[in-house]
Chain A
Amino acid sequence: MGRISTQSAGEVSDEALLGALADGDQQAVVAFVRRFQRRLFGLAVTLVGDSGIAEDIAQEAFLRIFRHASIYDERRGSVATWALTITRNLAIDSLRVRRAIPIPSEDRVFFELVSGYRLPEEAALVDEDARRARAALATLPLEQRRSVVLATMYGRTAAEIAELESIPLGTAKSRLRLGMARLRTNMTRLEVQ
């Protein structure tokens, strides 16, 4: 599976930065926050749809990353993936508690992902892993793509997707399952290429 990298050429690697952080390097803390805050906040706000709650989640994610920097296991994925996973889990847990669900259809990120139409200003930011994920998603039938995006990026359960799209629960479940299975195959293939 692809590794998400956030550093530009000449910068210290994400892994090295996390290592310095684990050793208690205060400058590394600042550098790490500056490098990741836009991504962690971006994911959190996508999932919860509320800037205030998203800030709280992104901050909590940073605190957990700092606390557990020394136990990061690179075999489980890149530093960015790990950081984003922590953020997603916190955001999904907060969704479960709040029960309120933001409406995704007006969201430009959602629009972009389910339509495949890339908005020009975002294009420059898309890195290699995002490009690969996007390419894999593009191969899915639209219904499957939408279900996968709703579940992975917006934390929607199959039941919530069924209600949102007014489709039977079984249909929502099978779309998600088939979409994930297809992505698995496609991502492995794209990885090999």
Chain B
Amino acid sequence: MSTDQIDPKACAAIREDLSEFALRLVSGRRRAEMLEHLQTCSKCSAQLEEDVLVADALLALAPEIDPPLGFESRLAKRLGERSVSLRRRRIRLAAMAAAAAVAVLFGFGIGVIATGHTSGGPASQSANLTEARLVSGGRAIGYVYLASGSPAWMFMSVGDANWSGTVWCEVTSTSGNVATVGRFDLIQGHGAWGVPLKDSSSHVRSASLVDAAGVTLATARLTS
């Protein structure tokens, strides 16, 4: 759809919330609606870009405050933990194989293989799968799998949630952009789904489940 086909009333409604959107203050269903409009409306997108620049420029006003004593050493410790996790990669390979098996089990396998073939070569080698635990309140309630390719696909399986009903999935890119990639239903705490991602999978930082009120229910960190 081109910009001139868009109803001016729709644009006016979007503009109402655009500053908040630029500040990441819009979530859930409304964010999804706005994203849908922004994808097709170049005028509103240009306006958003300007709002983001203003918001970023205002960050210069942030006060400089000394962090608590020991900040640097605690950060150094966390950095150390990160290099340890790199050494664990071998063990993670086994987990990834298990994840691939789960993906096939859920009926996602066809998607992975099909996208893998677009870049040539055997699917089993080109389908690079990343797996992450979906955590809610410190508890793992499912898994997120990211299969690289063009387009990349994301799969989510929730097996043990304390809530049911409609949830939205938000994907945060490494540059901090949030996109709502889909919505699905959990029945008695269970659900599984897959969706193609518009952006490359290598740019995905995390995936979250958000409820209609915009509350984040669970998050999976997909670090590359």
Contact = CB atoms under 8 A, between A and B. Distances in A.
Interface of A: 1-2, 4, 29-30, 33-34, 37-39, 41-43, 45-46, 51, 54-55, 58-59, 62-64, 66-68, 71, 76-77, 80-81, 84-86, 88-89, 92-93, 96-97, 99, 109, 113, 122, 125, 127, 129-130, 132-134, 137, 148, 151-153, 155-158, 173, 176-177, 179-180, 183-184, 187
Interface stretch (B32-40, B48-56, B88-96): B48-56
Contacts of B59: 4, 43, 81, 84-85, 88, 152
B87 interface: no
Interface in B7-54: 15-20, 22-27, 50-51, 53-54
B25 to A, nearest CB: 5
Interface stretch (B70-78, B110-118, B123-131, B191-199): B70-78
A41 B63 CA distance: 9
A180 B63 contact: no
A155 B63 contact: no
A92 to B, nearest CB: 5
Given A29-B79, A55-B71, A183-B54, A134 B25 contact: no
Contact of B56 (A59, A71, A77): A77
Interface of B: 15-20, 22-27, 50-51, 53-68, 71-72, 74-75, 78-79, 82, 174-176, 205, 214-216, 223
B208 to A, nearest CB: 8
A42 B63 contact: yes
A23 B44 CA distance: 38
A145 B54 CA distance: 13
10 contacts: A2-B60, A41-B65, A81-B56, A92-B25, A133-B57, A151-B19, A158-B25, A177-B18, A180-B54, A180-B55
Nearest to B53: A1
Instruction: Report which residue of B25, B57, B66, B72 has the largest number of chain A beta carbons within 10 angstroms of its beta carbon.
Output: B57
A63 B79 contact: yes
